[in-house]
Amino acid sequence: MVGAIGWREILSWRLRRQFLNGPGATSVGEVVRRLVAVPSWSGDAELAIGSRMRRPHPGAVAAAFAEGHLVKTFAFRGSMNYLVPEDAGIYLALRAVGRQWELKSWREFYRLEPADWPVLRAVVRDALSSGPLSQRDLADVVVRDARFSHLTVALTDKSCTFLKPFAWQGDLSIAPPRDGVLMLQSPTVAFGWSGIPEPEDAGPQALRAYLSAYGPASADHLQYWLGDGLSAGRKRIAGWIARMLEDEIVTIDVEGDELLCHADHVDDLASEPASGVIHLLPGLDPWLLGAGTADVHIVPPDRRTEITRGANPVLIDGRVEGTWKITEDLLTVTTHDGAFSRDTLEIARGRLAEVLGREIHSDVL
């Protein structure tokens, strides 16, 4: 059992692991792989990733995606996320394990039985084999098969609910938009796409990756990430933890909390913690989503509502101490207790301006 490790050390270690403190990452893919997934639906992916880059520049994420170095697909909580192609299948395997499309409600609503899905999936893969298609174009191809002639509305629905099982099973992913229209493509066009592994192989890999960025963490946090966020059941997750406790994971006590930690990371946790470092991150940044806004060590309870609603957090040493926004070129920082120095805020403002690629001025409330 390791002693003398507190939450200040834990958060400082996570800041370094997530490229928020230290020299920063050298590529978009390096950031996304470490964070596991970055939400693409909020419009803040460029800021979330750029804040962790050694040399950020606007448009880097869009360029990496267009060049096939990222996969955009439906993953955590069914929303669109950027993932690296080499690892995307790990999380899709766990999202698919619940086999939502076999539920009675799905069978009745979409008038499809489990036996229909292999053929339908093959039709979708074949349709996308020649290049990206819009939802409408994909629907036009699929409904030519009389067995699926009733699926036009399902395939073109803006919610994309019906498309998600195809994404989870590796049949489709999101393509760069065309004239503002959602486009679909095969994930195989991405460099390094490695398919969908078996869940029992994917689980330990996902657990390792989570602890590498968001650890040390409790079993409840792993359930939040892999169970609630994907579809891995509690029993499966407990089994993976038990298997890895034999030689990869250790249990440590942190101020009375029993946490799971990579055995190789324990010594690094005792490093000198950060002191007074400010970060200006986008709302629902992976720093918050990875641990969950219910984690009181990162989000104080009296600030949870505004953070859950997407307010941009001001972090001081990894803990939410206020919010920020930009109106035209003016950065307004609202803090609750003023627990920072103006010089440190100026460093954070300069970094934000660098990531955004434009000049901004600051004000404090």
Q: What is the pLDDT of residues 269-312, one digit of tens each?
A: 988 887 889 999 999 999 999 999 999 999 999 999 999 999 99
pTM: 0.95
| Per-residue confidence band for 41, with pLDDT thresholds at 50, 70 and 90 | confident
- Give 3-state DSSP helix, strand, coil % of the chain, rounded to 5: 45, 20, 35
Buried b (16+ CB within 10 A) or exposed e, 36-62: bbbbbebebbbbbbbbbbeebeeebbe
| Per-residue confidence band for 2, with pLDDT thresholds at 50, 70 and 90 | very low
Percent of the chain with pLDDT over 90: 90
**CATH 1.10.10: which residues of the chain?**
7-18+198-269
CATH among 1.10.10, 1.25.40, 1.10.287, 3.40.50 for 7-18+198-269? 1.10.10
Whether 232 and 226 have beta carbons less than 8 Å apart is answered as yes
Q: How far is CA 341 from CA 65, 338, 361, in A?
A: 38, 8, 16
Residues 249 and 265: their CA atoms lie apart, in Å, by: 10
Give every CB contact of residue 238 below 8 A, 6+ residues apart in sequence: 219
CA angle 251, 285, 309 (to 5 degrees): 110
The four Cα atoms 221, 25, 60, 225 give a dihedral, to 10 degrees, of -10
